Amino acid sequence: MLTTSELKKPRELNPKISGKKKTFNTMSGWSAENAKRAYLQSLKMAKRGKEPDVAEFISALAAGNNAKLMVVASAGMAGSTALALAAAAHQTGGRVVCISFDQNESQESRKALGINGDCVEFVVGDAKGLLVGDYKGADFVLVDCDITNAREVFLAAFKGAKKDERSLVVGYNVKHRASRWRQLKASFLPIGEGLLVSKIDPNMKSSTNEKIDRRRRGRWIVQVDSCTGEEHIFRVTSANRKVEIDV
């Protein structure tokens, strides 16, 4: 369970899961006060009688990093996660945009949020396109991993996110399909149904978040000089290229 005191320490934001504590390093510019207030407001807005859930963690994470443009791409009707970002926006003075698949889903989301829906902008369209288009430069993107083409949406969010060390792309509902995300540069946090947190590196040259193995396979060739008996060892990295060696 997250406590108010823990929110003042960015490196201790995560609850204990099965007796093991997972740590996640936040970035410079962390606002403990924003995180604490957003956390408490999110908890109040959710009106839950049980211990804090993933939504409160998300709210504290977004507010603590002073996010200004927060975008959520959900797989269905917006719920506690959208409320969490609304609580964060209240502390940072930012905007919250909720991307829905169709108009019916958007209307249902607005109704579900009630009076808090006034704090959220609802748009309808393709999340992948919007994240690299109209909402390019978002500094906090939340992706429901139950959404269709979730991996592509996550990568689009990473590509379109603001190139700043405080920007984050966060996926939730990850755990039951974790194998799909193994090649991404992200930290998996065992909170709720699983969180995937990816920090934006402003110096990264690649436009994607996928890890690329640049090692080239090759083979070693040993050539013995018939006159001197010396061994010459060569490594050939282009398997399809014909190589002629004169000794």
DSSP 198-215: EE--TT--SSS-B----P
Task: For residue 94, give both structure tokens.
Answer: 């930012």
Handedness of CA 21, 27, 32, 34 (dihedral sign): negative
d(CA 69, CA 89): 8
Residue 7 pLDDT:
43
Instruction: Compute the half-sphere exposure of residue 233: CA atoms within 13 Å on the CB side of its CA.
Output: 3
Closest alpha carbon to 127 in 85, 169, 182: 169
The Cα diameter of the chain in Å comes to 90
Predicted TM-score (pTM) above 0.85: no
pLDDT of residue 25: 45
Per DSSP, the residues of 93-142 read T-EEEEEESSHHHHHHHHHHHGGGGGGSEEEES-HHHHHTTTTTT-SEEE
CA torsion, points 14, 149, 155, 23, in degrees to nearest 10? Answer: 10
- Cα(211)–Cα(204) distance, integer angstroms: 12
Is residue 122 a contact partner of residue 100, using CB atoms and an 8 Å limit? yes
CA pseudo-torsion sign 125, 65, 1, 194: positive
Paired with 189 in beta bridges are 195
Question: What is the block-wise mean pLDDT of the chain (247 residues), using blocks of 10 residues?
Answer: 44 37 49 72 56 78 92 87 90 93 88 83 94 95 91 92 89 74 76 86 60 44 63 52 41
How far apart (Å, rounded) are the C-alpha atoms in residues 114 and 118? 8
